[in-house]
Each structure stands twice: as structure tokens, then as C-alpha cells.
Chain A
Amino acid sequence: GQNIDQPTEMTATEGAIVQINCTYQTSGFNGLFWYQQHAGEAPTFLSYNVLDGLEEKGRFSSFLSRSKGYSYLLLKELQMKDSASYLCALVDSNYQLIWGAGTKLIIKP
């Protein structure tokens, strides 16, 4: 079967670094997306990884290990505006998106 797991909620401090993990089990893999969703707003695209390794985009980085079925989103120099839910979604062998339930990130001053 196919399965994606992410922590339900995380708390971090402004200015710090936080890593949001996403683990998955799937029979086929064609990439993994991360989206950000602020409360009451549309999800917005953050990153897409299909090869192993780390991809950096400003304060946000996304990492993928296909052999371990594992990805993480790394947020540096946290700002209050980073308080949001972060959604992980993998592309399966049929090119369908399988979504995680999302991680709510709370940033404290």
C-alpha cells in the first residue's frame, strides 16, 4: 500500500531552524512536493524533489532520500509569517498525488 506520515504539529522559536519530516511507503515514486498553507488561505508550492539530495531556495531547503523513503523541509531564520501548515505529497507510479495530512508549524517569539 501507499502511506505518507508527517508530524501533526511542531513548535519552534523565531530566528531558529526547524526540520519537518515526511516519511513514505510506496510501490513507485515519481517525485515529492512540499506546499505551504497559511490558515484560511490557498496552499502554495514550495518545492519538488525527484532526485536524492538537498535543494535550497532561500531560507527553505528540501531534502530527499528515495532509498529511505524520507524527505524533509528545512526552514532557517524562522519568521512569524512562517507559521502555517506544511503539506507533503508524493507522486506515485501512476503519476497520482498522494498527500500527507500536513504539519502545523507554530512559531513563538
Chain B
Amino acid sequence: ETGVTQTPRHLVMGMTNKKSLKCEQHLGHNAMYWYKQSAKKPLELMFVYNFKEQTENNSVPSRFSPECPNSSHLFLHLHTLQPEDSALYLCASSQAGPGDVGGELFFGEGSRLTVL
């Protein structure tokens, strides 16, 4: 099994749909992250969870709603998205925070989202 698994890999949705992205990590890490990756732009951190507690929400619109039921699973619930939300959504995990030993991120392969 790969370390961090994301499903679905591709998703097309209309602006009125509700869908969810799922992430699962098999590495025993304590922190999980959602990032948005758009072409030719830096990775944008959306949410951070440490030990299932949300520790960061970078001014993300409420149409994105995260859920972390346990330290191995992370969801991103999507509702009434806009076309500009089309992007690659990457999940990542780490044993420790950036700057600490074990702070490197392990990424999933991403969910490519297209909003029509």
C-alpha cells in the first residue's frame, strides 16, 4: 500500500453538487494537511490537523469543509463550488511539524477537481 492514498483521483462536478474527497495515510503520522495546487502557482495550504484537531484554516471559503474522524483519515467536503475552485487537491501527512525532525511531508497523488 502506498503511504498516502487519495480518492477519487478525478472528479467533475456542477456548481450545485455536493461531493467529498477522501485521504488515508498508512504511515502512523500525527498531522494531516489539505493543499490546493493550481497551475504555475505555489501550493496553497488550506487546512491542518494535528492529532485530529484542526490547527489551521487559511481563510478558506466555507464551501470547503474538512473532517478528520481519526488520525489516519481526512475528508474534504465540497458544496456549491465555483469554476475557479478547479484545481488539484493534495493531501499530505507528516510525523512532526515543519522545521522539526520528521517534518517532511508525504503527499498523496491528488484529486483533480473540475467544476463546471
Contact = CB atoms under 8 A, between A and B. Distances in A.
Interface of A: 4, 8, 30-31, 33, 35, 40-45, 48, 50, 87, 89, 91, 95-102
A43 B42 contact: no
Given A45-B106, A99-B43, A30 B4 contact: no
Contacts, number: 50
Contact of B98 (A35, A42, A96, A102): A96
Contact of B103 (A44, A48, A98): A48
A97 B40 contact: no
Contact of A30 (B42, B98, B106): B98
A97 B41 contact: no
Interface of B: 4, 40-43, 45, 90, 97-100, 103-110
Give the dominant DSSP class at B's interface: loop
13 contacts: A4-B42, A30-B98, A31-B103, A40-B109, A41-B109, A42-B4, A44-B107, A45-B105, A50-B99, A91-B98, A91-B103, A95-B98, A100-B42
